[in-house]
Every structure is written in structure tokens, then in C-alpha cells.
Amino acid sequence: MTKSWGAVIVAAGRGSRMKTSESKQFLLLQDKPIFIHTLEVFNRIPMIKDIIVVTGAPDVRRCEEWIKQSGLHDQRTFVVSGGKERQDSVYAGLQKLETDYVLIHDGVRPFVQRDHIEACMKAAEQFGAAVLAVPVKDTIKQVSTDGIITATPDRSSLWSIQTPQAFRLSDVKEAHKLAVESGFAGTDDAMLVERLGRQVKIVEGSYTNIKITTPEDLDYAAFMQKGEREQ
């Protein structure tokens, strides 16, 4: 039996590290807001039934306008207001879905590849939960509060986690509900699901699936887009 899929695209962050008055997801990349580039990738995957864009309450209307202007306005794309923190925004988006599974993705990761998204979906259907990730390249040091190295973890066991993260919808909603009730703040959605005792499968992604959060990231993103156009 075919499973139904939804997606929550989180576009509710601010621009503090970007050092701009405009929120990072709305900065222009090749004349389009970054989150629109992200939406275009997910819009090309027919298995995704509903796409929920979560943004700040003051930005809902302009998000809807950008989506309409970009030709992405259809019956499966909706914009809703999020909460104070990313975790709150994800939870708000999850409440709007009635699918079997969900993909949760950062709106400022516009270079995610369709085949990696679909591989993550396939793994989630098999294991219940899956996340895109890449092996850590650098040596990682564990450091004390006074700046002294206390341990060097085995790099072969370390992965840098990305999005999308894919889950059985009922599991991730339960995980978020528990987090709210217990006042727990996780660093990603997989961490919340792990607290339920669920296994989360790693799916290898790409180092180009960057999260645009700093001016340097934006410069690199423009460079990547230029390279894609010239190919």
C-alpha cells in the first residue's frame, strides 16, 4: 500500500548570524528568496501530498505572495505561522498534516538533491525514521568549559546531520508533544524521536546541502548557482 507523504519547510528564522535586517530565508538568490529555491525542489516530488511552509506571523502574507509569483501556488502548498523557537514552528507545521509520513526540512537548504530526499523517504518507510547526513571530515575534539581537550572521538563514527529528516508522522508528533510536556528542547527533530526509543537511520547525503546562515554561506550559494547555470 502506497504511503502518503507531507513536508514541513521551516522558514521562520531570523537573520542574526547573517547580520542583515532581513531574515535569511527571504534573502534573494538569483532574484528569488532562498526558501523559494527550496520549495521548488520539494514541489517536483509527486509523492509529497501536502507542503506546509512555516514562517513568522508577520511574514505569512508575503510568503504566500512569493509562492504565487513563483508559480508554486497550488492546492498542496500552505503557509502557517510558527512559534518562538524552531521546535515550536515544526510542531505547528506538523499539526496541519494528515499524512502517513513527513519530511522536515530547513528552508535555507536550497541545494538538497531530489534523489537524496527520495532515498530518505524510502529509508523512513523501512525503518520508521531517517535523516540525511554526511561523514565528518575533520578531527573532532571534546573540550572542557575552560578550553582544555578532554577526548578525541573516533571520527569514523561521527556524522554531520542535515535535513530533510523523515519520520512516521504519528511518531514525530508524539515526540514533539512529549517535548512540550517535559519542557525539553532538542537540537533537531531526530533527537526528539530518539527520546521515544525509536531507531533513526542515517542516509548519506551531499556536502553541497549547505544551510545558509552566514554571509559566507550566501556567497558560496551564489557561486554554486553560477556553476549550475554554466554546466
Q: Per-residue b/e over 174-210, b at no fewer than 16 CB within 10 Å? A: ebbeebeeeeeebebbbbbbeeeebebbbbebeeebb
Q: Supply the Cα-derived Rg of the chain in whole angstroms.
A: 18
Whole-prediction pTM: 0.93
Phi, psi for 29 (deg, rounded to 5)? -130, 110
Tens of pLDDT along the chain (231 residues) come to 789 999 999 998 765 555 556 778 999 888 899 999 999 999 999 999 999 999 999 999 999 999 999 988 777 899 999 999 999 999 999 999 999 999 999 999 999 999 999 999 999 999 999 999 999 999 999 999 999 999 999 999 999 999 999 999 999 999 999 999 999 999 999 999 999 999 999 999 999 999 998 888 888 888 877 666 555
Backbone angles phi, psi at 150, to 5 degrees: -110, -20
Number of structural domains (the chain) is 1
CA distance 170 to 183: 20
Residue of 93, 23, 108, 86 lying closest to 53 (CA atoms): 93
**CATH code of the domain containing 78:** 3.90.550.10
Identify the domain containing residue 96 by its residue range. 5-230
